[in-house]
Structure 1
Amino acid sequence: MIRVSFIVLVSAGFAASTAVAHHSQAAFYDVESRTEIEGEVTSTRWRNPHVAFTVTVMGADGEEQWSVESNSLNALERIGISPDTVAVGDQIRIWGPRSKFDRYSMRAYNILLASGDEVVMMPQASTEQHWVDHELLAVTPPLENKDITESVEQADGIFRVWAYGRIRLINPELPLTVAAAAAKTAYDPVTDDPVMRCIPTGMPAVMDVTFPIEFVAQADDIVLRLEQWDTVRTIHMSGDPGAPDGQPATREGYSVGHWDGGILVVETSNIDWIFFDDRGTPLSSAVRVVERFTLSEDENSLHWQATTFDPETFTEPVVQEQTFTWEPGEEIKPYECAMAG
């Protein structure tokens, strides 16, 4: 049966000013418009899933206390932005979309720092400079200063760290059953999204990543490490389709792999997770996922294709794909998601 029992009890104001799934911000913010505020930073929180600030703004009726969130800590570190960039006591200006739920909450796309320099906080959402009469701070990503010799020498086929890709759906639209469509309609991201409690996502949604992944050979098996959520998947290379029988169901499921020429084929079942994606598409306990990881001829990219079978959710198999790229010197960082409180 379709499982829709997971409920996260948080207030709309809290939800709008804390964690938001990495590609569903439109559920929480008015991404079609922009707001600009100016004020003094009164607190900062440099943690995953999102860096956050509180800012005191002088409004027409007196002081306003704004809650501001931006990119993840790990993403900011990768573009050279550190906790020293914004500090308590700084007078700053912020530009970005406003919350749909709290009049004094927003997301920071760009910040005009106390130094007078502008910094782009979310290049995946907007790369444009907002305050054109100020200097755009050119930060140096730490990766550019790394010695990549060891990374190049240790790379062996798929066994290396891969930078994230961008997932896309091959089906024209999700072929939902009547029951699944009803469950998705009832989904409320403010109250039902597990991300709001730093609860890691399960298969196959966990593969919709915005951070690096790494394949590691471990005895006869393969370990797939995902930076996001500090997830570790074990791919059992016995090739025995009956291996999952009697194994407990987990968020990541039980994965059995084999090589088809140079392609790593992985079948995962025993998945104990309730959502296919971050938009409330349900999953049943019958879900099964078949992945194919294909290394490019020049070994600089890795194509991922996943086919999800779930007769209680989909009327036909659903196919997704993305391509990971190799950036020598990239590494898996601790994610350590932690909510405010």
Structure 2
Amino acid sequence: MRAAIAIILLSVLPGALCAHHSRADYDTSAFVEMEGELASMRWIKPHQSFEFLVEGADGEIQSWNLEGSGVYSLERSGITEDLYPIGERVRIAGWQTRTRSRGFFLTHMLLPDGAELVLLPTANVDRRWSEDFSGGAWISEPTSSQDGSLFRTWSTESLDVFIQAGLGIEVELTEEAMAAKALASEFDPCVASGMPSAMVNPLPVQLSDHGDFIEIRLETFSVVRRVDMTNSVDAETVPLSKYGYSTGAWEGDVLEVRTTRVNWPWFDDAGTPQTDGVEILERFTQDDDAARLNYTMTVSDPASFVEPVTLAWQWIDIGERFSPHDLCEAE
């Protein structure tokens, strides 16, 4: 028996974008509003968290743990640390946890001055209370840099565009892969993913040319991939690793990167399995005006996938400062 599984890129976003706990832990079917004191805040990439004090029905003060979208994602939408009025009363909206006592995913906040913070970074989320609001969709102003090189820092234009790239794509699994998926454990957002899912994230990527090799750096978890441009090594002699062994070649103006020798067991962060026979072909192509970088990834693994799976999206240059991080507090 085989089954088709729809990929939604939101399900494979890294911990750097979302809350420390899985989004699946929250009841997103209904928004809940509360009022109370924003007692304290932790704002360190990749996560934000707050202590929120609420008076219960019995008059006792309850302490709630608020989480929300990642720091990078909020900063791209114009939300900065200084906007939060620590020590003051605010109204909040969001989703309660399904499994943990007094856990809450923060989506909106009404400030004492009547301004509103929209804390889900997509264009599909509206303000709730005020016409004076900040946040929402990402801010993307292309840089006027004359650097036409492939080798620079590239950014996702919007979270909505990134998610849309995965809608409608299907992975048809073999019977063996279906059985393995049924036994998959819950994804830990504080463990850096291997290939190919390491590349499937909306945070900045930086490419740099070192002659015999190219470095692909990901802001998430400070991942560094090395692409061998000499093709002088027998791949079979290279030890297996979570990022594998990558070789590159130029096909005209297109950079092609082929990766094998991967021992990361998951295709995505939703428990879709892959084997160490997986092969990943990436293509990096600039538009004619060099303002956009088109990216295509094709993943082949006959033991897991009935057919190769292809994902594609674009990056733009908005002049971001590359800021790798690997901070991820334990439970």
Q: TM-score, normalised on structure 1?
A: 0.81
Report the CA distance shift for 1:58/1:174 in structure 2 as closer, same or farther (over 3 A): same
Deviation at 1:74, TM superposition (A): 2.0
Tell whether 2:259 aligns with 1:261.
no
Per-residue deviation at 1:83? Answer: 2.5
Instruction: Please state if 1:181 is matched with 2:181.
Output: no
Question: What is aligned with 2:37?
Answer: 40
Deviation at 1:20, TM superposition (A): 4.1
Cα distance, 1:111 vs structure 2? 1.0
Change (3 A) 1:77 1:233: same
What is the correspondence of 1:187-336 to structure 2 with a 5 Å cutoff?
187-188=184-185, 192-195=186-189, 198-240=190-232, 243-327=234-318, 329-336=319-326
1:113 corresponds, among 81, 96, 111, to 111
**Within 1, Cα distance between the matches of 2:152 and 2:255?**
14
Give, in angstroms, the shift of residue 340 of structure 1.
4.9
User: Which structure has more strand as a fraction of its residues?
Assistant: 2
| CA apart distance, 1:289 | 0.6
SS class of match (1:51)? strand
- Letter of the structure 2 residue corresponding to residue 213 of structure 1: V
> Which deviations, in whole Å up to 9, do the C-alpha atoms of 1:194-234 show, x marking residues without a partner?
31xx2111110011112111111113221111111211111
1:129 to 116, 123, 127: 127
Aligned 8 A contact 2:148 2:291 in 1? no
Percent identity over paired residues: 32
**Distance change in 2, residues 1:170/1:268 (3 Å):** farther
SS at match of 2:304: coil
User: Any conservation in 2 of the 1:223–1:235 contact (CA below 8 Å)?
Assistant: yes
CA contact (8 A) 1:74 1:335 kept: no
Gaps of 5+ in 1: 1-16
Taking the aligned partners of 2:48 and 2:124, their CA distance within structure 1 comes to: 17
Q: What corresponds to 1:161 in structure 2?
A: 153
Task: Return the alpha-carbon distance in structure 1 between the equivalents of residues 151 and 171 of structure 2.
Answer: 32
Question: Counterpart in 1 of 2:20?
Answer: 19
Aligned residues: 307
Q: Provide the C-alpha distance between the structure 1 equivalents of 2:148 and 2:241, rounded to a whole number of angstroms.
A: 30
Deviations 1:209-264 (A, max 9, x none): 12111111113221111111211111111245x54232222221111000111111
CA change 1:180–1:35 in 2 (3 A) is: same
Question: Once the 2 structures are TM-superposed, how far is the Cα of residue 31 of structure 1 from its aligned partner?
Answer: 2.2
4+ residue runs over 6 A deviation: 141-144
Inter-partner Cα distance in structure 2 for 1:47 and 1:308: 34
Cα distance, 1:101 vs. partner?
1.8
For the 8 Å contact 1:109–1:126, the answer to whether it is kept is: no
Distance 1:18 1:261, change over 3 A: closer
User: Retained in 2: the 8 A contact 1:94–1:110?
Assistant: yes
Q: How does 1:87-106 map to 2 (within 5 A)?
A: 87-106=85-104
Letter in 2 for 1:302: L
Is residue 55 of structure 1 aligned with residue 52 of structure 2? yes
SS in 2 for 1:174: strand
Normalised by the length of structure 2, the TM-score is 0.83
Contact 1:78 1:142 in 2 (8 A): yes
Looking at structure 2, the residues matched to 81 and 170 of structure 1 have their Cα atoms a distance apart, in angstroms, of 27
RMSD (Å) for aligned C-alpha atoms: 2.7
Contact 1:243–1:256 (CA<8 Å) still a contact in 2? Answer: no
- Give deviations 1:14-33, integer Å, cap 9, x for gaps: xxx95146xxx2x2222232
Q: Is the 8 A contact 1:194 1:201 kept in 2?
A: no
Aligned 8 A contact 1:170 1:319 in 2: no
Confirm or deny: 8 A CA contact 2:226 2:246 kept in the other structure.
yes
